[in-house]
Amino acid sequence: MSIKAVIFDFDGTISFQDYCTWKVLWAYLGDEKLDKYLVDLYYSGKITNEEWETFADNHFINKKLTKKQVMKAGNNIKLLNDVHCVFKKLHDSGVEIYILSAGIKTMIKQSLGDSEKYVNWIESTDFKFDENEIYKGRIKPETDIHDKGTFISKFLQEKDFNVDEILFIGNDSNDECVSKYGIRTLCINPYKTNGHDKSIWTDCIDSTETLSDIMQYV
């Protein structure tokens, strides 16, 4: 394989679009309407991302969200077919696997199950819990998950890989910024992005339910 590292987005890329971590958690708690209200406020410019996060944190604290609930919600995430097979094949071929996501690490790990053992690193927001496993707040990753280019920049500085040896796989407009670093990019099941814009995406898979379709680009 010519690729030495694959960096996956998670929500809508490894999972189906309707099974994004935050959306699944709010639904599990019975708060879909509140979630939609906050999303609409944010995209209409009425609240900032920081205000959105603060409101969500306070809501989870007031509801006494538990680690058990978060993990159970993670079990509700539906992944594309063949995730385990693809991860194993990449790992066995010496390809490093990373997940770069604005989703929830606890839920990502729970949904991956045994497949997580093939992943070198998950760069994502995590949750912290007290001694009774009640939600206390979020742990932000070292890089800015709202600007995924910050992780790519750090990755290129730390790894002895050429840019053409790294493949990023995403699906959304918030993944577009990685293209400016010169690495290869694959859009899968495009959402709010033009997967055929060659200035952003090297290749595109317009529609698939099977992650193994990416192997032809590795």
* Domains of the chain, residue spans: 5-20+76-217
pLDDT of residue 58: 97
Residue type, 172: D
pTM metric for this prediction: 0.96
Give the pLDDT of residue 78: 98
Compute the distance between CA of residue 105 and CA of residue 99 in angstroms, rounded to an integer. Answer: 10
Say if residue 1's pLDDT is above 80.
no
CA pair distance 15, 30, nearest whole angstrom: 21
Fold of 5-20+76-217: Rossmann fold (3.40.50)
Q: Residue type at 175?
A: D
Name the pLDDT band for 146 (thresholds 50, 70, 90).
confident
Instruction: Give 127's pLDDT tier (boundaries 50, 70, 90).
Output: very high
The sign of the dihedral angle between the CA atoms of 12, 15, 19, 24 is negative
